[in-house]
Chains A and B, each alone.
Chain A
Amino acid sequence: ELKVEQNPLFLSMQEGKNYTIYCNYSTTSDRLYWYRQDPGKSLESLFVLLSNGAVKQEGRLMASLDTKARLSTLHITAAVHDLSATYFCAVVSTGFQKLVFGTGTRLLVSP
């Protein structure tokens, strides 16, 4: 059974600082996704990572994938308040088409 773990579960950081969210998964995977969820809102797709070594960047967020380590990271550069949200990684295991979500990381960026 595919399991997806994120850490930290909660992250409080100051504006301007850098930090990384980690996503580990338990079986081989074809694809890994990062989603953002604002309170009371839909999940918004941020990135899809399809192969080992894939790196995607948009604004202050950069996601990477290491399929050998079964690890993805979401790096935040010079955080701003607008990045405050809950971030989920989600994985599709090889051979199955079920999307399994991690527990989420709640990010709070303070001035």
Chain B
Amino acid sequence: EAGVAQSPRYKIIEKRQSVAFWCNPISGHATLYWYQQILGQGPKLLIQFQNNGVVDDSQLPKDRFSAERLKGVDSTLKIQPAKLEDSAVYLCASSLDGTVYEKLFFGSGTQLSVL
């Protein structure tokens, strides 16, 4: 079974530039999550989708971050413009059923460095 795919693996940009990350969840998984993991900290939920609808985006900095999940499958997370404090690993995860967290599968993440 293929896992959660993310790209790119690494990204280096200058502050005020834009960046986008892509995630392809496990086939059939209705729920998709984007987490931000700053070095030395635990992952923090940015946004949760159920199919193509947003369930929770309370911790998403909406002035600069946006995310979409068209057709309820792939998702993209965008930052525009980036700040130094956005340097982190961005993890995508998916689950078959959003209420059953033990079935949460994580991708390898995209490591973002903002210079």
Which residue numbers of A lie inside 8 Å of B, CB to CB? 4, 9, 31, 33, 40-45, 48, 88, 90, 92, 97-104
Contacts and interface: CB of A to CB of B under 8 A. Distances in A.
Nearest to B55: A97
Contacts, number: 50
Max chain B CB contacts within 10 Å: which of A33, A42, A102, A104?
Answer: A42
B104 A104 contact: no
A97 B42 contact: no
Nearest to B99: A97
Interface in B6-46: 40-45
Say what secondary structure dominates the interface of chain B. Answer: loop
Interface string B78-115: 00000000000001010000110110111111000000
Size category, B interface: 20 to 34
A88 B102 contact: no
Contacts of A101: 42-44
B73 interface: no
Contacts of A48: 101-102
B4 interface: yes
Contacts of A90: 42, 101
